[in-house]
A and B are shown apart, each in its own frame.
Chain A
């Protein structure tokens, strides 16, 4: 028994919770988490499709009215209750623990497919040098590279060109995770994030010098003011900000739990939020400058070449790389940026899961990391480097985003605000250490505006996904890996929260007890204390 991770941690003195050694490293890690693949391949197309330059208005409104307030909410929960998502929610209220586990399971689903996209990008960084796709980028991606099956399903025909890069991604990420918060996550972000910014700035500058760049920027920034009268444009802005900032699925709760007691939460949050938006804007400029070149080179309008997501990254961009002067450099910079943006985000997603099991089982960092990440890596390596990997990824991604993250966020906010009435308590906690104080407006935004918007988005998604088969995949496929998976996350969360916290767990942590006492001395009052004790 003593050889088990649990045994080792029991024999040693109680380990103190790791903290980011500086505020700067926390901010870098939080930006690294927020800046992900979506900033590069989602924002430019969403902005273009929803009013171009006019999209700036709903985007900023969404940032200020939903994104930043929700970021502050996550920070306040993680920092006040100093635990992983399940432990923090449990400490907030016993009945809220399933929300934390729901977030952990959402991160599990995202982690298993996110590694596949990073592996594709890594391979395309190399392919850019040789322009391996020739004249047919689409045929190469779906055919030669992924060897996509004709019908969606679960195949175990492995594609070695995807399997081995994915294995490499998992090894790199597991090494980072085992090293812990300071030696692993902080250092990885301190290296990868500056590298990503430098690479992306060079990419944008190179794109701006391409013929037709101004045509692309013109299309991107020309405002369509009539779009502002369309509710779906506003919904797109709120939806995008919500997904872009990595809020409400455990990441920011977990990261902020590693902050020192006296930390400027709101001041740090503002830097993270605006850095994330700045990167998105930069991505929009770079991507549309390149698309402008493609439009001019192929003699078609920008709206015919504009795309987002996988289509932009693995079909449109390789075409640009083939035709642009110094295209190989452009390709290496673009796909290299995707790799670094993806790695920093994947690390943060995995941290939600590792921290949850570390807290629940009271295991050492190394033990918990290996026990959690290796099975995740194995599942990921069984399901995604196959001929049906992209279809599985497509359905999982669409359903976990809408009926995982969005639904969980809505439930969490309703429980925290209307259910437990905890917003005044969390507001007080934010104001104890932060430079920018939050007041009634913050409570109205979080408890009133955000649930209304999230509810609207969720109902829209329920209607669209139930009225037609997603991506024309078979009903059983969407049923199992879409609806079934989303439902299983809720059932799994309830079951995990029924497992009792053992004596070894972090639920009764002397370090937290001292922190809690200090918080109470500063005026914190648990408004649900009677209910919990009864």
Chain B
């Protein structure tokens, strides 16, 4: 492979892989909250 092709491959992997890792990290930092179902809400709502 030529250096420019290798460079583009690395950039592609890092950009998309990095985006995926950041998205996962963001989600992991905010775990699912306990479900608040509509019927659990006060009647006046």
Contact = CB atoms under 8 A, between A and B. Distances in A.
A7 to B, nearest CB: 26
B5 A271 contact: no
Interface string A312-348: 0000000000000000000000000000000000000
Contacts of B39: 511, 514
A264 B27 CA distance: 8
A460 interface: no
A153 B27 CA distance: 51
Contacts of A274: 16, 19-20, 23
Interface in B9-35: 9, 11-13, 15-17, 19-20, 22-24, 26-27, 29-30, 32-33, 35
Interface residues of A, number: 38
A122 B31 CA distance: 39
Given A53-B9, A222-B4, 17 more contacts: A53-B8, A53-B11, A56-B8, A56-B15, A60-B15, A218-B1, A221-B6, A221-B12, A222-B5, A260-B32, A261-B35, A270-B22, A271-B20, A277-B16, A278-B20, A281-B12, A517-B45
12 contacts: A56-B12, A261-B37, A262-B35, A263-B32, A264-B30, A268-B27, A270-B19, A270-B22, A271-B23, A511-B39, A514-B41, A518-B38
A267 interface: yes
B17 A23 contact: no
Most chain A CB neighbours (cut-off 10 Å) among B15, B23, B39: B23
A39 B22 CA distance: 22
A133 B36 CA distance: 57
B8 A221 contact: yes
Nearest to A520: B45
Nearest to B17: A278
Given A60-B15, A221-B9, A275-B20, A436 B45 contact: no
Contact of A218 (B2, B15, B22, B29): B2
Given A223-B8, A274-B20, A267 B26 contact: yes
Contacts of B36: 261-262
B16 to A, nearest CB: 5
A339 B17 CA distance: 25
Contact of B27 (A217, A271, A514, A517): A271
Contacts of A511: 38-39
Contacts of A220: 5
A22 B27 CA distance: 13
A218 B41 CA distance: 59
A511 B41 CA distance: 11
A518 B26 contact: no
A477 interface: no
Interface in A67-89: none
A281 B13 contact: yes
Contacts of A436: 26
Given A56-B12, A60-B15, A435 B35 contact: no
B45 A270 contact: no
Interface string A397-437: 00000000000000000000000000000000000000110
Nearest to B15: A60
B8 to A, nearest CB: 3
Nearest to B34: A262
- Which 3 residue pairs spanning A and B have beta carbons closest together? A53-B8, A514-B38, A274-B20
A273 B19 CA distance: 9
Contact of B5 (A217, A270, A514, A518): A217
Contacts of B33: 262
B5 A517 contact: no
A13 interface: no
Contacts of A285: 9
A214 interface: yes
Interface in A43-66: 52-54, 56, 60
B11 A56 contact: yes
A264 B23 CA distance: 12
A270 B38 contact: no
A200 to B, nearest CB: 15
A285 B12 CA distance: 11
Most chain B CB neighbours (cut-off 10 Å) among A60, A221, A273, A518: A221
Contact of B35 (A56, A260, A271): A260
Given A56-B12, A218-B1, A223-B4, A435 B30 contact: yes
Nearest to A275: B20
A529 interface: no
A515 interface: yes
